[in-house]
Amino acid sequence: MITVPNLTPVAEPLHVGEQIFQPEFGRIRTVEQVGPLEKLFTIELPGGKSLDHRPGQFLEVSILGVGEAPISISSSPSRSNGVFEMCVRKVGDVTSAIHRLQSGDKIGLRGPFGHGFPIEKFRGKDMLFAPGGLGLAPLRSLINQVLDERALFGRVILLYGAKTPPELLFKDELREWAERSDIELHLSVDRGDETWTGNVGVITTLFKFITVNPRNTVAVTVGPPAMYRFVLMEFMGMGIPEGNIYLDLERRMKCGVGRCGHCQINNIYACQSGPVFSYKDIKGLEEAL
């Protein structure tokens, strides 16, 4: 039998008006190259409105004439200042068009969509983050919120892997975090280069450096589909309960409101019930992993 998770929305999208398909326009404040193919965009909403998102939520980003792409919000709600951030990897039509935008340009936005991370359930827990590659972009939102509420959490452990050293994103922030004593940071790359002195190997090779209290740990992973199976095995191997493991299931998405069918995983729509799921809720779904 397949299980039907009963997932109730935790956050209502704020910027979905009656015309659910019509984007609003934000304005780009800054653009920063943060990886070989990745740019970080700082965006403000009209009238200084705040986005009021939850970490883990995403927006449908529009370039009129080119199309829409779902992009996670990378900044933490705790640091909004009337702006938010998105990190975009250039892989195709829409993302390339986004990359052509400059500060001052308008950008179409719908959302935020989806559930975010249930952060209130995480408070008091140790946090183990294991993003891969571009996965740090969405997870950064949660990490920074946790750091901003540092006292409310136990340990904060971050294992981050990328293919090569230049592909490690947000290097300034990584450096900052490395200097903090209240974060345990471990980095790895699949293939090193002459500058690299750290760990070489896929992200799972970092798990040997840490020990956790499984009963009190929330583990979160975001990354490419191929990575999940292995990271989940590590989490479970450490004894972390399935209900405390969270992951982000990204699918093709067109509407963001649970209708177009592209993001469907068996009987659930990832855009609505996800994209963040607890492993317990989706492990019975044939098509999830």
Partner 1 sequence: MSLKIIQKSEILDFIHRLLPDYRVVGPVESNGGYAFEEISDPADLRLNYTTTILPPKKFLLPPQELLFKFDNTNGGHLQPGPEREPTVIFGVHTCDLHAIQLLDAVFTNGFADPNYLRQRQQTVLISVECLTPCDENSFCKSMGTLSADEGYDLHLTDLGDAYAVDIGSQKGEDLLLDYAASKDAAPEEVQRLNAVLSEKWPKFPYRLDFDVSDLPSLLSLSMKSPLWAELGERCLACAACTNVCPTCFCFDIKDEVEMDLKHGQRVRIWDSCQLDEFATVAGGHNFRKNKALRQRHRFLRKGKYILDAHQQLGCVGCGRCARACLVDITPVGVFNELYRQTQVEGKL
Partner 2 sequence: MSQNGKPKVAFFDFTSCEGCQLTVVDSLQDHPELLNAVEIVQFREAMSEKGEDYLVAFIEGSCTRASDEARLKKIRQQAAVVVALGACAHLGGVNTLKYLHPLDEVRQYVYGDKAGWYDTYDARPIEAVIPVDYFIPGCPIDRDEFLATVKALLLGKKPPIPDYPVCVECKLKENTCLFTLGKVCMGPVTRAGCKAICPSYGQSCEACRGFIPDPNDSSMREVLAKHGLTPDEITTMYTMFTTYQVREKLMQRASTHE
Which one of partner 1, partner 2, ligand FAD, none is in contact with 185 (Cβ closer than 5 to 8 A by kind)? Answer: none
Q: Which of 217, 242, 20, 219 is nearest to 124 (CA)?
A: 217
Kindly state the tokens that stand for 216: 């009190």
Residue 90 burial class via C-beta count within 10 angstroms: exposed 0-12, middle 13-18, buried 19 and up: middle
Contact 5, 282 (CB under 8 A): yes
Q: Give CA–CA dist 269/249, Å, rounded.
A: 10
Binding site for ligand FAD (CB under 6 A): 58, 67, 69-72, 87-89, 91-95, 134, 137-138, 250-253, 275
- Smallest gap from residue 242 Cβ to partner 1 (A): 20
Which one of ligand FAD, partner 2, partner 1, none is in contact with 50 (Cβ closer than 5 to 8 A by kind)? Answer: none
Q: Which of 235, 234, 246 is nearest to 142 (CA)?
A: 246
Which one of partner 1, partner 2, ligand FAD, none is in contact with 275 (Cβ closer than 5 to 8 A by kind)? Answer: ligand FAD
Write the DSSP assignment of 169-237 as a string of letters: --HHHHHHHHH-TT-EEEEEESS--TT--SEES-GGGGGGG----GGGEEEEE-S-HHHHHHHHHHHHH
Place of tokens 């109730």: 8
DSSP structural state of residue 242 = G
Which one of ligand FAD, partner 1, partner 2, none is in contact with 72 (Cβ closer than 5 to 8 A by kind)? Answer: ligand FAD
In this complex, which beta carbon is closest to partner 2, that of residue 95 or of residue 217? 95
- Smallest gap from residue 93 Cβ to partner 2 (A): 4
- Smallest gap from residue 42 Cβ to partner 1 (A): 17
In this complex, which beta carbon is closest to partner 1, that of residue 21 or of residue 196? 21
Question: Per CB under 8 A, does 123 bind partner 1?
Answer: no
Amino acid symbol at 239: G
Question: Per CB under 8 A, does 260 bind partner 1?
Answer: yes
Query: Which residue is at the shortest CB distance from ligand FAD?
Result: 92
Question: Per CB under 8 A, does 97 bind partner 2?
Answer: yes
Which one of ligand FAD, partner 1, partner 2, none is in contact with 282 (Cβ closer than 5 to 8 A by kind)? Answer: none
Which one of partner 2, ligand FAD, partner 1, none is in contact with 100 (Cβ closer than 5 to 8 A by kind)? Answer: partner 2
Q: Give CA–CA dist 271/249, Å, rounded.
A: 9
Strand partners, 84: 43
Which one of partner 2, ligand FAD, partner 1, none is in contact with 267 (Cβ closer than 5 to 8 A by kind)? Answer: partner 1
In this complex, which beta carbon is closest to partner 1, that of residue 37 or of residue 174? 37
- Specify the stretch interacting with partner 1 by CB under 8 A; choose among 121-129, 155-163, 180-188, 259-267: 259-267
Residue 229 burial class via C-beta count within 10 angstroms: exposed 0-12, middle 13-18, buried 19 and up: exposed
Contacts with partner 1, residue ranges (CB under 8 A): 1-2, 4, 13, 16, 18-23, 25, 64-68, 91-92, 95, 105-106, 108, 224-226, 250-252, 254-255, 257-262, 264-267, 272, 286-287
